[in-house]
């Protein structure tokens, strides 16, 4: 698989298996279909005729009528033959491709030969198999010829052994029944038993413990692949297991479908959210108790409930019955450069005396405006509904339009200071033209993940290998939401999965800093080796050593250093003799080092205040008289020469908002100006700094992600928050 192919595959798997911020707790199950199918019966289905060649250790299987149906999920989009892709875990995710290349024959058909040549060109191990040798074992595949391809020769050999021994993924317990649940021509079947190993390699350390829970969801997760393309993914499926209370699927059967409204009280910058709307909270809690009992955990939960009642006079069950719980949710978002979590409870009968317990004054809910209060019921939600709702800090709460929102002081201040509800997730998704807002239709559970946020979050849900791939998938989109909706109909259940790559057509101009996280580039940084004329890479190791390596990866040198560099490394011909040095910043100083790892005399130069990102280097007159631009930690941008002196004409650039990156130089004829991106807008400044040339407010502000285009020597144009394109004469 290509790097882009794997990200699509992994995104689907993570969503299906509950990797959306513990969406493992919200999938719903169908019981057995009541009609057992044998492996042979499943293999007779034309969609599954290639499965006898899939080894039994498969984590997931994708069956496509045509290889081209898989879009860019595989590198074989130009081939029209039937294809099955299985994923195997042996320290890393490895695919096996099985292709139907026509009737059995001693020699491969032209399509088979073409496939093998193409796969070998991708570096894959290939094998042609005339399946007539196995006709007595496999009725359907025995009349066909197949091509096997994989990065692993071990997996290819394993596939052949499985054919020879008539043992395959078809023989796994429950697989035939799971396969019988899918209806579309292109389908996906996932083994929950194997899923924990897979998710454990994808989820970050803070979230890795969730992976094990997927094994307790159900035996199998299956889905019809409705669409798979560059604009998104749509899946319809179900989790397949028996009705045992030991499977979490059984819990939600006690809770009839209801309509959720959680997106109306979450900020547009929500990272992840799980919502459980319910008509009967008592029935849900009783079913959850049965689940805990099957795991021999009920006694501990009961003890915690009794302890909370002794402390506060009410058990969790009594509190939730008293306030009339209609929906519970948990969500995360970025606040003060860290990931904050909150719990949310929607009440049909909010009792002010009850929910404002231990407050100095009990406000009237009728004319209540959000304010910060101490929360008397910390740990009530996680005791009653499970560890999904466990917060490190649940000391504070506020009340908003029928919702109790609890969490840390920093998290709740997002609401009391107005930022969280200034532009809600519901409004944002509507502006992005998402046809169906999560939670807006009757369901038993909804899970939401912003894949865009997962790429840049300071607390990584996913490991770096996944994030580097995801950044490529999200780079051309304003918002990439992953949504899982679980519903029931006529005592049957299903889930709907969508991943959408969206553009925000129109949005609301913010009044507060929204995206205050500044991403510092980590390198390696391309530099020129004047001795060889080649491109080298300058970078810093985890132990702070500074290093230089060749483009092929060969290390040239490494030297000790004691500070983290500030996100850039630039070429400078300091002596104007054709020999290149590398300029970089660390702390409050600018350093210059040559291609042999020697620091240049006269450096470092102290700028007097801490550098956040920089420097960028400019030779405005092409005379080797360099100037640098630096973004400081005090939200200022300054220009210096290489002696650390500011030009006499420089007036500085300062912003009350978070400046996200170094300025971009915009050249208009013989003039220049600076484009500065902040957390909420784009600003344009004169070449010498000072007052901004853009002073628009409200919806006329320039969007922070807008391109600034040069129209002529005096004019630029850009997109504003109201969706209009405007021009500015400079």
At residue 18, the pLDDT reads 44
Cα separation, 405 vs 231, in Å, equals 34
Q: Is residue 379 part of a domain?
A: yes
| 551 in the same domain as 682 | no
| 565 in the same domain as 471 | no
Segment 175-200 shows an average pLDDT of 79
- The conformation of residue 706, written as its DSSP 8-state character, comes to -
| 189 in the same domain as 167 | yes
Q: What is the mean pLDDT of the chain?
A: 84
Q: 23-55, pLDDT tens digit by residue?
A: 333 333 333 334 556 677 787 788 999 999 999
| Domain-terminating residue out of 213, 237, 261 | 237
Cα separation, 283 vs 251, in Å, equals 9
| Domain-terminating residue out of 237, 255, 290 | 237
Q: Is residue 656 part of a domain?
A: no
Pull the structure tokens for residue 717: 């144009």
Task: Name which of 641, 694, 683, 691 is nearest 659 in CA terms.
Answer: 683
What lies within 8 Å, CB to CB, of 515 at 6+ separation is 269, 334, 658, 660, 679, 680, 704
| 620 in the same domain as 572 | yes
User: Of 23-32, 143-152, 608-617, where does mean pLDDT reach its minimum?
Assistant: 23-32
Residues spanned by the domain of 722: 661-730
User: Of 458-462, 607-611, 688-692, where does mean pLDDT reach its minimum?
Assistant: 458-462
- Whether 104 contacts 6, CB under 8 Å: no
| 623 in the same domain as 485 | no
| 407 in the same domain as 347 | yes
Segment 89-103 shows an average pLDDT of 88
Q: What is the 3 state secondary structure string of 632-667?
A: ECCCEEEEEECCCCCCCCCCCEECCCCECCCCEEEE
| 464 in the same domain as 443 | yes
DSSP H stretches of helix in 18-128: 39-43, 110-121
Model confidence at 585: pLDDT above 90:
yes
Model confidence at 16: pLDDT above 50:
no
Where does the pLDDT of residue 723 fall: very low under 50, low under 70, confident under 90, or very high at 90 and above? confident
Could you give the C-alpha distances from 491 to 28, 280, 565, in angstroms and in order? Answer: 11, 16, 59
At residue 250, the pLDDT reads 58
Q: Is residue 654 part of a domain?
A: no
Q: Give phi and psi for 193, each to the nearest 5.
A: -60, -35
Q: Is residue 371 part of a domain?
A: yes
Segment 350-369 shows an average pLDDT of 78
Where does the pLDDT of residue 87 fall: very low under 50, low under 70, confident under 90, or very high at 90 and above? confident
| Domain-terminating residue out of 449, 476, 500 | 500
Q: 464-510, pLDDT tens digit by residue?
A: 655 555 565 566 777 888 888 887 655 555 778 887 878 777 677 88
Q: 257-301, pLDDT tens digit by residue?
A: 788 999 999 999 898 898 999 888 888 888 788 878 877 888 988
Where does the pLDDT of residue 369 fall: very low under 50, low under 70, confident under 90, or very high at 90 and above? confident
What lies within 8 Å, CB to CB, of 15 at 6+ separation is 23, 235, 449, 482, 484, 497, 499
H/E stretch holding 227 reads: strand 220-229
Q: 396-450, pLDDT tens digit by residue?
A: 999 998 999 999 999 999 999 999 999 899 999 988 888 788 888 888 888 898 8
Q: Is residue 144 part of a domain?
A: yes
Pick 212 or 71 by higher pLDDT: 71
Query: How many folded domains does the chain comprise?
Result: 4
| 311 in the same domain as 224 | no
Q: Is 414 left (phi over 0), alpha (psi -120 to 50) or beta?
A: alpha
| 174 in the same domain as 321 | no
At residue 90, the pLDDT reads 76
Q: How far is residue 425 CA from its own chain's centroid?
A: 16
| 45 in the same domain as 186 | yes
């Amino acid at each position: 698989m290509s790097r882009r192919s794997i990200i699509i595959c992994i995104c689907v798997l993570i969503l299906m298996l509950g990797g959306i911020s513990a969406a493992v707790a919200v999938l719903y199950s169908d019981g057995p279909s009541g009609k057992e199918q044998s492996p042979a019966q499943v293999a007779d289905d034309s969609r599954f005729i290639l499965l006898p060649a899939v080894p039994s250790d498969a984590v997931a299987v994708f069956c496509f009528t045509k290889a081209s149906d898989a879009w860019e999920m595989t590198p074989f989009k130009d081939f029209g033959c039937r294809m099955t892709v299985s994923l195997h875990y042996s320290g890393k995710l490895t695919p096996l491709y099985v292709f139907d290349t026509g009737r059995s024959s001693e020699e491969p058909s032209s399509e088979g030969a073409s496939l093998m040549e193409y796969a070998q060109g991708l570096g894959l191990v290939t094998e042609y198999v005339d399946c007539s040798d196995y006709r007595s074992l496999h009725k359907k595949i025995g009349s066909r010829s197949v091509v096997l391809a994989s990065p692993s020769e071990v997996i290819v050999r394993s596939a052949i052994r499985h054919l020879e021994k008539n043992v395959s993924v078809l023989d796994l317990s429950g697989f035939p029944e799971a396969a019988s649940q899918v209806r579309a021509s292109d389908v996906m079947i996932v083994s929950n038993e194997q899923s924990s190993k897979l998710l454990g390699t994808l989820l970050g350390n803070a979230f890795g413990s969730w992976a094990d829970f997927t094994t307790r969801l159900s035996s199998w997760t299956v889905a019809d692949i409705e669409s798979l393309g560059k604009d998104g993914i749509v899946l319809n499926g179900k989790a397949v297991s028996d009705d045992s209370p030991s499977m979490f699927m059984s819990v939600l059967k006690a809770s009839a479908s209801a309509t959720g409204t959680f997106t109306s009280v979450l900020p547009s910058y929500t990272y992840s959210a799980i919502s459980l709307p319910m008509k009967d909270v008592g029935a849900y809690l009783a079913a959850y108790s049965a689940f805990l009992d099957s795991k021999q955990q009920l006694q501990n939960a009961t003890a915690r409930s009794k302890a909370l009642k002794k402390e506060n006079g009410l058990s969790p069950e009594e509190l939730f019955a008293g306030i009339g719980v209609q929906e519970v949710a948990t969500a995360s978002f970025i606040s003060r450069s860290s990931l904050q979590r909150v719990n949310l409870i929607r009440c049909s009968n909010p009792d002010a005396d009850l929910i404002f317990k231990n407050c100095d004054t009990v406000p009237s809910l009728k004319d209540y405006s959000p304010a910060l209060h101490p929360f008397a019921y910390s740990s009530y939600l996680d005791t009653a509904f499970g560890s999904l709702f466990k917060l490190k800090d649940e000391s504070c709460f506020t009340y908003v339009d029928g919702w109790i929102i609890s969490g840390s002081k920093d998290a709740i201040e997002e609401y009391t200071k107005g930022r969280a509800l200034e532009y809600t997730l519901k409004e944002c998704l509507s502006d992005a033209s998402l046809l169906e807002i999560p939670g807006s239709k009757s369901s038993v559970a909804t899970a939401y993940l912003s894949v865009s946020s997962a790429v840049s979050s300071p607390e990584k849900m996913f490991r770096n290998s996944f994030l580097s791939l995801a950044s490529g998938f999200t780079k051309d989109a304003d918002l990439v939401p992953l949504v899982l909706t679980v519903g029931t109909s006529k005592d049957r259940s299903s889930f709907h999965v969508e991943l959408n790559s969206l553009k925000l057509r129109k949005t609301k101009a913010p009044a507060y800093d929204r995206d205050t996280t500044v991403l510092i580039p980590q390198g390696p940084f391309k530099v020129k080796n004047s001795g060889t004329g080649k491109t080298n890479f300058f970078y810093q190791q985890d132990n702070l050593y500074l290093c230089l390596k060749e483009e092929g990866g060969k290390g040239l040198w490494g030297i000790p250093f004691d500070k983290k560099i500030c996100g850039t490394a630039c070429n400078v011909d300091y002596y104007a003799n054709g020999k290149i040095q590398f300029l970089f910043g660390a702390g409050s100083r600018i350093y210059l080092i040559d291609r042999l790892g020697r620091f240049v005399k006269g450096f470092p130069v102290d700028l007097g205040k801490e550098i956040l990102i920089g420097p960028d280097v400019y030779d405005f007159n092409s005379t080797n008289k360099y100037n640098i631009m630096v973004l400081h930690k005090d939200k200022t941008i300054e220009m210096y020469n290489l002696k650390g002196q500011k030009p006499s004409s420089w007036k500085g650039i300062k912003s009350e908002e978070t400046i996200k990156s170094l300025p971009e130089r915009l050249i208009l004829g013989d003039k220049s100006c600076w484009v500065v991106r902040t957390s909420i807008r784009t600003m344009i400044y004169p070449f010498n700094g000072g007052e901004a040339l853009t002073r628009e407010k409200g919806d006329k502000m320039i969007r922070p992600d807008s391109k600034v285009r040069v129209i002529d020597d005096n004019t630029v144009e850009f997109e504003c928050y109201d969706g209009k394109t405007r021009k500015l004469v400079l």
